Amino acid sequence: MTNKYKSEAEAIDDFVVRYNLLKNEIGKIIVGQDEVIKNVLISIFSRGHCLLVGVPGLAKTLLISTLANSLGLSFNRIQFTPDLMPSDIIGSEILDETKNFKFIKGPLFANIILADEINRTPPKTQSALLEAMQEKTVTAAGHQYKLDNPFFVLATQNPIEQEGTYPLPEAQLDRFMFNIWVDYPTYAEELSIVKATTTDLNVQVNNVMSGEEIVFFQNLIRKLPVADNVLEYAVKLASSTRPGNENSPAMVTNYLSWGAGPRASQYLIVGAKCHAALNGKYSPDIEDVKAVAAPILRHRIVRNYKAEADGYSIEKIIQELL
């Protein structure tokens, strides 16, 4: 795989071509949502996980299954419910006919995991995902099992009905690289959706990339050089969200309870590298950091009551920081 390209520049150029092919394949099924698709792909090539927040019926599940098909990856959908147990997603040990314990793998053993309505399940089951997302392993009955590579968790959350939900703990939210807001389609897009989905037309999605190629491009993106001023900008941006920090403006101290941790700085740089590569650049600049800042910071900063009273949304605070 690595011998295919004469140089890293040639590999980046091919990556741009593959990315556009991927977008076209996904576009056969998903109408609009260009920004959402771009951010999901950035998180995949940055080795990150995604949280998709949006009301029901906006094709979040369809987007993820279409993505898995076009990437030629194994895909499992887990519907999170209040009675779901950790063993239901990790797997469990059973006694086989020879009276030996045998581990039966759960749905977590796939390349792409769709954790549907992740906030509907209790913390005990949510925490079973933590090890998988961070270490790419699961532990059952004292034995550790490696998960498939590449491995991504793409979770969905409904922002409206919050009755009977278990909000994700901050530690788990921090494991998600992006918090992506999925909005309603425009009038023209909705017309196209209704036309396409109310007939018997069967659209086939072609496989654009293999798992091995995804891992190669992930490693390639990590190798991109970053100028010191870009690094400094990313770290300053993340630290400026922390109340009482030397880099934070008065607005942050007034309106935020706490800000983003060091993981935000890391994701800002990795995300900027991937954003640069998708645009055919061989090194990220400050504009690339700004392009990925909102979905990275959105779920890592917490407003206080004063911000809510004064009508200061998380989006407004991020835009002022940028």
- pLDDT tens per residue, range 109-153: 888 889 888 888 888 888 888 888 888 888 877 788 888 888 989
Least confident of 74-78, 165-169, 288-292, 295-299: 165-169
Distance CA 302, CA 258 (A): 6
Q: Say what the pLDDT of residue 307 is.
A: 80
Q: Element (H or E) spanning 95, and its range?
A: strand 91-95
Query: Is residue 106 predicted with pLDDT exceeding 60?
Result: yes
- Specify whether 109 is located in the same domain as 237: no
Q: Say what the pLDDT of residue 161 is.
A: 63
Query: What letter does residue 73 receive in the DSSP assignment?
Result: -
Q: Say what the pLDDT of residue 3 is.
A: 59
- Specify whether 190 is located in the same domain as 235: no
Residue 286 domain boundaries: 224-321
Q: Say what the pLDDT of residue 98 is.
A: 78
Least confident of 25-29, 216-220, 269-273: 25-29
**What residue type is assigned to position 111 of the chain?**
N
Q: Say what the pLDDT of residue 228 is.
A: 93
Q: Say what the pLDDT of residue 210 is.
A: 83
| 218: its two tokens | 């992930």
- Specify whether 37 is located in the same domain as 133: yes
| 56: its two tokens | 């029901």
- Specify whether 148 is located in the same domain as 6: yes
- Specify whether 233 is located in the same domain as 201: no
Q: Does 217 map to a domain?
A: no
Q: Does 53 map to a domain?
A: yes
Q: Does 55 map to a domain?
A: yes
- Specify whether 195 is located in the same domain as 123: yes
Number of domains in the chain: 2
Q: Say what the pLDDT of residue 319 is.
A: 87
Torsion-angle region of 99 (φ positive above 0: left; ψ -120 to 50: alpha; else: beta): left
Query: Is residue 1 predicted with pLDDT exceeding 60?
Result: no
| Mean pLDDT, residues 29-39 taken together | 83
- Specify whether 124 is located in the same domain as 22: yes
Q: Does 216 map to a domain?
A: no
- Specify whether 161 is located in the same domain as 12: yes
Q: Which residue in the block uniquely carries the two structure tokens 């659209």?
A: 203
Q: What percent of the chain has pLDDT over 70?
A: 97
Q: Does 218 map to a domain?
A: no
Q: CB of 74 within 8 A of CB of 148?
A: yes
Q: What's the CATH code of the domain at 58?
A: 3.40.50.300
- Specify whether 80 is located in the same domain as 163: yes
Q: Say what the pLDDT of residue 2 is.
A: 47
Q: Say what the pLDDT of residue 226 is.
A: 92
* 35-40 long-range contacts, CB within 8 A, separation 24+: 36/63, 36/180, 36/182, 37/63, 38/278, 39/178, 39/180, 39/292, 39/295, 40/64, 40/67, 40/154, 40/178, 40/180
Q: What's the CATH code of the domain at 292?
A: 1.10.8.80
| Mean pLDDT, residues 249-255 taken together | 82
| Mean pLDDT, residues 182-197 taken together | 81
Query: Is residue 164 predicted with pLDDT exceeding 70?
Result: no
Distance CA 117, CA 295 (A): 19
Q: Does 309 map to a domain?
A: yes
Q: CB of 181 within 8 A of CB of 318?
A: no
Query: Is residue 35 predicted with pLDDT exceeding 90?
Result: no
Q: Say what the pLDDT of residue 268 is.
A: 93
- Specify whether 42 is located in the same domain as 157: yes
Distance CA 7, CA 28 (A): 32
Residue 10: helix, strand or coil by DSSP? helix
Q: Say what the pLDDT of residue 87 is.
A: 85
Query: Is residue 44 predicted with pLDDT exceeding 50?
Result: yes
